[in-house]
């Protein structure tokens, strides 16, 4: 059995499509539903080229920026040559489609 994971395709919904998905807000964070992941809500990270992302969850503004979770689309040749600017940041990559390479301290 092969697992299938959601990956947004971008684009815009047809004008006649009724959108009823709602975000969930708590006192500390928001979770954004997958039905809203269209091109109009893509975000971009500094120092990343050929890459767009959709925010899945993050703390509400004004709180400690302790975590964030994205679905990212990195085009062939896209990505970043710059390391994370926060030395205490932890990252997890879960690839749902395609393949890539990671270089850490010069090692691939």
pLDDT tier for residue 49 given thresholds of 50, 70 and 90: very high
In this prediction, residue 24 carries a pLDDT of 80
* Verdict on whether the full-model pTM lies above 0.75: no
Q: What is the largest CA-CA distance in the chain?
A: 50
CA distances from 77 to 50, 69, 74, 80, 98 (A): 7, 23, 8, 10, 13
Confidence of residue 50 (pLDDT cuts 50, 70, 90): very high
| Residue 47 in this model has a pLDDT that exceeds 60 | yes
């Amino acid at each position: 059995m092969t697992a299938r994971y959601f990956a947004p395709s971008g684009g815009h919904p047809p004008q006649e499509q009724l959108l009823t998905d709602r975000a969930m807000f708590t006192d500390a964070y928001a979770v954004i539903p997958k039905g809203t992941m269209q091109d109009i809500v893509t975000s971009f990270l500094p120092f990343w080229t050929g890459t767009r992302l959709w925010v899945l969850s993050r703390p509400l503004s004004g709180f400690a920026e302790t975590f964030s979770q994205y679905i990212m689309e990195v085009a062939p040749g896209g990505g970043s040559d710059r390391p994370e600017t926060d030395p205490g940041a932890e990252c997890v990559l879960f690839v749902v489609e395609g393949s890539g390479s990671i270089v850490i301290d010069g090692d691939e």
